[in-house]
Amino acid sequence: MTLQDFQLLPEARQIDELYQSAVYLGKRKQASSIILLYQLESFYVEVYYRKYRSHVRHLHCFESTELLDPYLEQIDVENLV
Amino acid sequence: MTQSLPPKNIVFYADDDLDDLELVKDAFAQYAKDVEVLTATDGSKALSYLSNLKKYDTIPCLIILDVNMPVIDGKETLLRLREMEHFQEVPVVLFTTSSQPIDKNFAQRYNAGFITKPIDVKQMEFIADKFIDHCADDIRNRIRRQMQ
């Protein structure tokens, strides 16, 4: 599935697709909101929550790896060195 | 004469994600009269608690394990539990962000359930019921009866 195909789906189908096929990559917090990051084939989807894991505020889909920076910054590499 | 209440059923949940720990505790709140949720933040702490239970302590009716945890992950924790006499038959559920067949097969191989962590209300609704489905028949029926 391409990013364009995904964007054409209704939100409920997009969420089903994420639940069944996406790979969870990380989590971040913005103010009091929680955002989960998933990868689906060659693109990424952020799930913004109104209520964690219950009520989705919106989905943000993208292909640019630059937008992964907030997640990469959280990785503790100390134990990997 | 006083009558002592029967001990609550223990659900033991190990996860390093504090938001998910809260989520599951909240989901079981509706069963608070019969179920107590105990938690640990990694597999090592879970194994330490469970292996130190004494003969007369209440053995959990269900153990929920996140897969990606520090120190000892959920899969390794499951393997070690299955090597312990008291926990060979205790219901275990891997509760994970993964929906990959390789992880489902792993759970199946070690006689454990598998539930992918919810993304929205459709999967979140009834999550406690989905966990309780994995308890032994008598415990599941007793918990459900108390709710009626």
Looking at CATH, the fold of the domain delimited by B9-123+132-147 is given as: Rossmann fold (3.40.50)
Q: Pick from A47, A52, A55: which is nearest to B19 by CB?
A: A52
Q: What ipTM goes with this model?
A: 0.87
Interval B101-128: pLDDT, tens = 999 999 999 999 999 999 999 888 889 9
Q: A54 vs B117: CB contact, 8 Å cut-off?
A: no
Contact flag B119-A56 (C-beta cutoff 8 Å)? yes
Residue of chain B nearest A26, judged by CA positions: B97
**Chain B interface, best mutation among A17, A19, A21, by max B CB count within 10 A:** A19
Task: Count, in order, helices (H) and strands (E) of chain A.
Answer: 3, 4
Q: Hey, CA dihedral for B64, B70, B72, B75, is it positive or negative?
A: positive
**Which domains does chain A show, CATH number per domain?**
3-80 (3.30.67)
Report yes or no: A71 and A44 within 8 Å, Cβ to Cβ.
no
Q: Which of A21, A24, A28 to mutate to probe the B interface, most B CBs <10 Å?
A: A24
Provide the whole-model pTM: 0.91
B64-115 tens-digit pLDDT: 999 999 999 999 999 999 999 999 999 999 999 999 999 999 999 999 999 9
